[in-house]
Structure 1
Amino acid sequence: MDDLDKRILKQLQNDSSLTNQALSEKVHASAPTCLRRVRQLQEQGVIQKTVAIVDPTLVASTLTAIVEVTLDIQTAEAYQAFETALTDEPCILQAYRVSSGPDFVLIVQVRDMPAYHALVHRFFTAQQNVRNVRSFFSVHRSKFETQVAID
């Protein structure tokens, strides 16, 4: 990854809706070169996807929970089974396998407390390998960024 790729990534992380022409002007490269580089970054998996970031306070999802999950059995197969089950649950936005403490930390976004309660019964109690669930509810979001620092 060279300096041009890094400049492209910085611009796209800031505003992925830029036209190729506008992007090429901002990174000081020709439009065909810029288009080729963006496609390469996508093919290499550096750019995973392009999305719109929605303000959850302006749509139905308004309750954010940070959930710690400890599994009963901590094997590679058990971790994989839990991670596979996570993918089908749309209100679990992020999942991290962590060390020293719980096995997973999840970022969950639901409409309200009854919706969270339904998630607990639908997902966590259905998982036979879940030993402990500890939830923290956000009262204020101080910072939210999606940009990855690029040297």
Structure 2
Amino acid sequence: LTAVVTRLGDEDWDVRTATLRVLQAQSSLSDKLLTAVVARLEDEDMDVREAASRILQAQSSLSDELLTAIVARLGDEDWRVREAALGVLQAQSSLSDELLTAVVARLEDEDRDVRNAALGVLQAQSSLSDDLLDGPFVEPL
């Protein structure tokens, strides 16, 4: 798959998207390949970002290293990158409080789609700690 993965850096968005479709068809992907897919969450083209997001969402579990790389995208200046990262996190049912703290911070995002996506991540969690629910970003009712 190495020859295929190098096409993730192709100048044409349709080649990058087609490359991601090839990877999506694989029954399993190594962390090395998934790291390359995570980088595509920042792609300038929406189709490429969405294809990368679909691959990552289809993974039953992602390593802590990959989750940390995805959470790092929550600080991106492009709201679409932040939203794509949150979409991936929503597919993970058990995130650490450290990762969820970064998600809770997005409840204050300037973009409403990002705020909604952050709420989707929190809703998908099997349980949330009281510390998260009482954190600095949560206003009392």
TM-score by structure 1 length?
0.29
Q: Which has the higher contact order (CA 8 A, sep 6+)?
A: 1
TM-score by structure 2 length?
0.30
Give the number of the structure whose residues are more often strand, by fraction.
1
